[in-house]
Chain A
Amino acid sequence: MTSLMTRRIIAAVLFLSASLFGIKLKDPRTMEFPARLEFTPHEVERFRLSNGIEVFLVEDHEFPLVDVVFRIDAGERRVDAEQAGLADILADLVVEGGSKAVPKRVFQDSLERFGASFRGSAGPKQASFTLHLLSEHIDDLLPLAVGAIREPTLPDEQLELNKNQRRTAYRARNSEPTAVAGRVLRKLCYGKDSPSARETAPATLDRIDLESLTKFHQTCYRPSLTMIGVVGDFDPKVMLEELERCLGDWQEPEVKPPDESPLYTDPASPGVYLVPWPGSVQSGIYMSHKGLLRDDPRYPASRLFCEVYGGSWYARLRKAIRVEHGLAYVVSGHVSSGFEEPGIFGTVCLTKSESTLQATRLMLGVMDDLRTQGITQRELELAKQSWLASFPAHYAEPEQVLRDRMNYAAHQYPIDFWDKLPDKIEPLTREDVNSFAAGFIKPRDLIIVILGDSTAFDDSLSKLGEVTIIDPEVY
């Protein structure tokens, strides 16, 4: 390793030579680089344990850290809407409550003693758990985490504490306006009972008990719905042996898991929805309709569309609303894609009450321009250059590679789906993107939610169409 002193001497020599030969400073506006930078993301090795659990390993020995990720397809989609929140509560209890072999206190103290963390949560699709620790403690703590996932204790007291915390959170749910708007928008877009939108409310909490949690665990936490990923400083051979020892004898229960319910259950009709927020000095404007499936052939074109629409510094929304009119700090738009059901096409802007209608019209105008006029050749080139050059950032860290591979594998997609995208993006033409925009953007399908104090708006909201009032106290 070169010493600091040596490096400083070399630097001094380089500096002198630069001065002597009068190297000219380059103009950043004219500097050119190859559009694509060839690189190979971290290698991910795939294995199967004897009971079929798929394991993904990514070695990274720079720091003595390891992350073990457990992904179990036991999300809210397998929970009845009447018991909304059950999957997430179970995930909480798994990481808080210990296992049948190791009681709660010992379990928590053991993790804390080594500075490790064990976190879990459940979303609509899956429950995820991450054990984050120093590599020297993996052989001590991995069996504990696995034990909690396989055989959690679900202490009664812990369940009551968790439910009480959620009741408190529910009663405070109308405190922060941006959170309220997000909740309302999700319910309108997906339907109130959708696993993507439904709330954990006192009524649903009352229907969650040890019996229902145990039943859900016994049916959904199973090898065939589990996937494991490990990234960091470990020996793969020994890691596999340890995982086999901890999990290899985990048998598939006979009873079948509940089917997954759809994400879109009962979306609201398109239109304008006002969430009254008396005294608000800023309005939140949200527009949305269904997005895309990830394997939609238009997906590559949608990436370039997003860059131009609302996902970059040069995006049209940003230019029109923030840069040219100074109307907003936050303004953006995005097309998200789902694996099994379409994602969301969403646009958001926060502006002072007095410019609510002005900003709304500008947002709709940008959308309409892109739908009818499309993007320019210059925008296409800029979007392509930007997307292709930033491609390596998608895999900047080994953990990103791991999670990406696991995600695609879990949805039965080719795990190198993302790696193939540059070849699909590069040949796209302006017509491809414009054809996508023309067919995809459907102004008549938009759900427009405005949260704010309508008495201070710059114009009547009814000029945008019929307005439905949403009372956040009951919605």
Chain B
Amino acid sequence: MKNLPRILFAILAGSIPIIGVSGTYAEIEERVVEHELANGMRFLIFERHEAPLVSMVIAVKAGAVNEVTNKTGIAHFLEHLAFKGTQRIGTKNYRAERKALEELDAAFKAYHKAEQEGADSEVLAALYAEFKQRQEKASSYIVQGELSEIYDRNGATRFNASTGYDYTTYIITLPSNRFELWCAMESDRMATPVFREFYSERDVIIEERRMRTDNSPRGLFYEEFRSVSYKAHPYGHPILGHLSDMENLYRKDVRAFYETYYVPQHMTAAIVGDVNAEEIIGLIDKYFGRIPKRPDPPGLITKEPEQPGVRRVQMQIGRQPRLYMGFPTVPEGHEDELVLDLLASVLGRGRTSRLYRSLVEERKLAFSVRAGHTTMLYAGQLGFSGTPIEGVTAAELEQAILGELTELKENPITEEELDAARARWKVRIYTYLSSNLGMGYMLAQGDQGNTGWQDIFRIPERAEKITPQDLMDAAERYIDPSRRSVGLMEVAND
């Protein structure tokens, strides 16, 4: 069986290779230029001259994992406010604006305090009027949207940012002759941001939460599932934050988070595209060198304790039943990480995976089913998700997946299955690396990760050394049904 397809191909395809000439992982790695400033900020440059464009990805090791009770959503809030400008961009007179912002914050604090203390409506109305007046005054100093307008005028595309648990990431693609503009803008943004338009942006973020979570059955369910997967660890908090926290954040909270976690030694910028590394390093030094080094942020103390039993969340919501099931594993960089990645791939990635063939094709229990191994800086999860076919419940699908996992012992993973998983990884990595932003993400986040950016290029080689028995051992060690987290989304009764 193992050789049949190969023989078949030879007959069908003849023997003329169509292969061109391209780079190996080692050659690609060699092309990455590393540069570190005295303040600790790191830069990774990859020249690619196919189009006159350059993509930049700044990964800041700061995210929802750094948030504490009462202050969830602050990392994401900061990411939004980072688009509001700096001490130079977005203001007509920063000195006067700063004073106006301080007065505005004081007015809001007075109103908010009175509201919490149950002040009567007249007092509240007066304080609110004062707040609105201060807001108007502060707005009078703003050059609205100046930061994004400068980028727009200069042909920026993919100008955006995202907040995760471990990183906040700022991305952009510019015509390559605008590289110095990026240096000037981003060094300003990282060194002297001004969190103006705080109160109206809070409303925008709350709308984002409504869209992604509160008004989306699937979004709401996933938030609940995460909350049972992590009892103590902040990975159980929603990245967007709890509504009550979002409503009670102050501008000074965002400032404090920025000062603590947006330190240059926790930032890596990847620059991928039509630039000359030797030429741009001077510009990088000139602009980003001015960001002052600050103390290292505090480490994370909370560890997720070993899960002592099954944790479940069950919701009647929406019209489509769905299942999530997760087993705690290892953080990014752990020696078992890749073994678990490959195990997840064999079990539930693609149409030839075990779970798909068994539960979708043969037993006809699921509409879709997949497995994935997610690792973050502090923890990992081997996850299974699926949508049952009509007439099957999420709970029945859960039992069916557990049954398949138990079956592993009787039906061990084969070398062919592992080969396919390795090959999928190889293609996946090349595919990511083939776009400027894809490579930028890999380099920048990889550099701030537990293992360093080079690790991505070593995965195929390490995967070759892994055996089917390694996967079986990992399954035995990590797939423990008595320590699983389960989310059952069931159809709501009207």
How many angstroms from the CA of A391 to the CA of B174 in the assembled complex?
Answer: 10
**Which residues of chain B have C-beta atoms less than 8 A from A234's C-beta?**
18-20
A110 touches B9 (CB 8 A): yes
Contact-size category for B: 35 or more
A135 touches B18 (CB 8 A): yes
Residue of B nearest to A14 (CB): B282
A350 touches B207 (CB 8 A): yes
For window 131-182 of A, CB contacts with B under 8 Å fall at 132-136, 138-144, 147, 161, 164-165, 167-169, 171-178
**Which residues of chain B have C-beta atoms less than 8 A from A18's C-beta?**
282, 285-286
Which one of B8, B145, B153, B319 lies within 8 Å of A175 (CB-CB)?
B319
How many angstroms from the CA of A28 to the CA of B178 in the assembled complex?
Answer: 10
**Which residues of chain A have C-beta atoms less than 8 A from B315's C-beta?**
none
Interface centre among B148, B218, B416, B430 (most CB of A within 10 A): B430
A106 touches B5 (CB 8 A): yes
B309 close to A (CB within 8 Å): no
Interface centre among B20, B21, B360 (most CB of A within 10 A): B20
**Which residues of chain B have C-beta atoms less than 8 A from A23's C-beta?**
286
How many angstroms from the CA of A215 to the CA of B203 in the assembled complex?
Answer: 55
B156 touches A390 (CB 8 A): yes
User: A176 and B318 in contact (CB under 8 A), knowing A29-B146, A63-B22, A138-B18?
Assistant: yes
A351 touches B53 (CB 8 A): no
A413 close to B (CB within 8 Å): no
User: A397 and B181 in contact (CB under 8 A), knowing A7-B278, A108-B351, A113-B416?
Assistant: no
Q: How far is the CB of B284 from chain A (nearest CB, A)?
A: 8
How many angstroms from the CA of A345 to the CA of B216 in the assembled complex?
Answer: 26
A238 touches B286 (CB 8 A): no
For window 406-425 of B, CB contacts with A under 8 Å fall at 416, 419-420, 422-425
User: A112 and B367 in contact (CB under 8 A), knowing A10-B278, A65-B430, A175-B319?
Assistant: no
B364 close to A (CB within 8 Å): yes
Interface bits B177-219 vs A (CB < 8 Å: 1, else 0): 1101100110010000000010111111111101100111110
Which one of B35, B175, B282, B360 lies within 8 Å of A33 (CB-CB)?
B175
Q: How far is the CB of B54 from chain A (nearest CB, A)?
A: 10
**Which residues of chain A have C-beta atoms less than 8 A from B424's C-beta?**
112, 115
For window 4-19 of A, CB contacts with B under 8 Å fall at 4, 7-8, 10-11, 14-15, 17-18
For window 310-347 of B, CB contacts with A under 8 Å fall at 318-320
Contact-size category for A: 35 or more
How many angstroms from the CA of A143 to the CA of B12 in the assembled complex?
Answer: 7
B184 touches A396 (CB 8 A): no
Interface of B is mostly: helix
**Which residues of chain A have C-beta atoms less than 8 A from B423's C-beta?**
112-116, 134
For window 185-201 of A, CB contacts with B under 8 Å fall at none
User: A235 and B20 in contact (CB under 8 A), knowing A96-B351, A280-B215?
Assistant: yes
A314 touches B152 (CB 8 A): yes
How many angstroms from the CA of A175 to the CA of B150 in the assembled complex?
Answer: 41
A281 touches B215 (CB 8 A): yes
A385 touches B367 (CB 8 A): no
A142 touches B419 (CB 8 A): no
Q: How far is the CB of B193 from chain A (nearest CB, A)?
A: 14
Residue of A nearest to B420 (CB): A112
Which one of A134, A139, A392 lies within 8 Å of B13 (CB-CB)?
A139
How many angstroms from the CA of A309 to the CA of B277 in the assembled complex?
Answer: 38
**Which residues of chain B have C-beta atoms less than 8 A from A116's C-beta?**
423, 427
**Which residues of chain B have C-beta atoms less than 8 A from A232's C-beta?**
20
A133 touches B427 (CB 8 A): yes
A233 close to B (CB within 8 Å): yes
**Which residues of chain A have C-beta atoms less than 8 A from B175's C-beta?**
33, 37, 389-390, 392
How many angstroms from the CA of A168 to the CA of B63 in the assembled complex?
Answer: 37
Q: B96-104, B227-235, B432-440, B480-488: which one contacts chain A?
A: B432-440
How many angstroms from the CA of A142 to the CA of B19 in the assembled complex?
Answer: 12
How many angstroms from the CA of A165 to the CA of B368 in the assembled complex?
Answer: 8
A115 touches B420 (CB 8 A): yes
B180 touches A31 (CB 8 A): yes
A42 close to B (CB within 8 Å): yes
User: A65 and B427 in contact (CB under 8 A), knowing A281-B214, A350-B207, A396-B53?
Assistant: yes
**Which residues of chain A have C-beta atoms less than 8 A from B52's C-beta?**
37, 39, 392
For window 358-406 of A, CB contacts with B under 8 Å fall at 382, 385-386, 388-393, 395-398
Shortest Cβ-Cβ A-B pairs, 5 listed: A389-B155, A115-B423, A326-B203, A172-B320, A313-B148
- A–B complex contacts, Cβ < 8 Å, 6 sampled: A2-B278, A33-B177, A235-B18, A326-B201, A352-B206, A352-B210
| Contacts A25-B184, A326-B199, A391-B155 supplied; 14 other A-B pairs, CB < 8 Å | A10-B278, A18-B286, A37-B52, A39-B52, A101-B12, A109-B352, A135-B22, A140-B13, A142-B18, A147-B12, A233-B19, A238-B17, A239-B18, A388-B155
